Amino acid sequence: MKKYFYILTLACIVLMSFQYRLQENEPITKVTLGEKLFFDPILSSKRTLSCASCHKPELAFADTTQFSVGVDGILTDRNTPSAMNLAGRIHLFWDGRSNSLEEQAIQPIISTTEMNLPIEQAVARLNEHKVYSRAFKKIYKSQVTEKLLGDALAAYQKTLETANTPYDRYINGDDSAMSEEAIRGRLIFIGKGNCSNCHAGEDFTADRFKNIGLFDGKKHNDVGRFKITKDSSHLGHFKVPGLRNVAITPPYMHNGVFKTLREVIEYYNQPDAFVKNGVNRDLSLSTPLGLSKTEINELEAFLKALTDDRFLKK
């Protein structure tokens, strides 16, 4: 059964990538070039995966599996975050190892658990490709380089912004845009739930790193930011993700441990009930929030109101 599922998935990827492949004599800009590259499996070692294989457009450019499947069926070691609403971010990846979209865009290509293609080979493929080579020369007046490949992919990713949600309409003066339940949930988000302490700004992330208690050195042993900085105070810290479209991007956290938004809220409400004495856990989570079931429902309703209209089922 797994074999047939893999074949079916691969067939869907091939069909989708064909739709987006660059055609000769097609009008091209930096953004459309990046879009074609994002959907083209040419950037994976076996030409079977594209960026969109894990960052699925219909899922707010995220994935709904705990760990995405890379080349040869190898699983990634962290949950795939959304590729949307990243234009203003200064830290990318769960551990913040990239500081720009241009740099970030290259990493999945060369990762051995993702697309597994050395950057030199990726650049050579594109330079040998008649249409891509011509497109780069037209736009950049240059043959393909690692830097220009990252620039093109980033140009497309910077267009993946969303701001057409019930929440946006509500804060812009439409009092009927959110339900009464979601309005109460917003007040909990700001107040009793203390969510805005980490999830701040237009995209509900302040580009901070926090340890929310999902590191115990045993069952949960991903060291997070510490792997990059080697600073012991960063042990178990991960980048605070943005919350736009969060309702359609389960599972949650860097390890995909929670399947639903409600599980996430229940965790924050009482962390010790899930992970006893998480190592280096943030002091803001040292005591239970004390949210009632009604308040949990209201907070969940608010989080769902952060979903862009394009993803709402008609």
Task: Check residue 53 and give its pLDDT.
Answer: 96
- CB count in 10 Å sphere of residue 305: 22
- Tell me: do 193 and 144 sit in the same domain: no
pLDDT exceeds cutoff 80 at 200: yes
Range of the domain at 51: 2-157
Distance between CA atoms of residues 58 and 250, nearest Å: 13
pLDDT exceeds cutoff 80 at 106: yes
Instruction: Tell me the average pLDDT across 4-17.
Output: 49
- Tell me: do 200 and 236 sit in the same domain: yes
Which amino acid does the sequence have at 175? D
Helix (H) or strand (E) holding 264: helix 261-269
Instruction: Write down which residue in 105, 140, 157 finishes a domain.
Output: 157
- Tell me: do 127 and 171 sit in the same domain: no
**C-alpha dist (Å) from residue 137 to 9, 125, 158, 243, 254:** 34, 15, 22, 38, 39
pLDDT category of residue 204 using cuts at 50, 70 and 90: very high
Distance between CA atoms of residues 159 and 161, nearest Å: 6
The CATH number of whichever domain residue 40 belongs to comes to 1.10.760.10
pLDDT exceeds cutoff 80 at 21: no
Task: Check residue 203 and give its pLDDT.
Answer: 94
pLDDT exceeds cutoff 90 at 12: no
- Tell me: do 140 and 235 sit in the same domain: no
- CB count in 10 Å sphere of residue 43: 26
Verdict on whether the full-model pTM lies above 0.75: yes
- Tell me: do 74 and 199 sit in the same domain: no
- Tell me: do 49 and 174 sit in the same domain: no
- Tell me: do 174 and 143 sit in the same domain: no
Q: In sequence order, what are the beta bridge partners of 62?
A: 56
Q: How many domains does the chain divide into? A: 2
pLDDT category of residue 228 using cuts at 50, 70 and 90: very high
- Tell me: do 278 and 199 sit in the same domain: yes
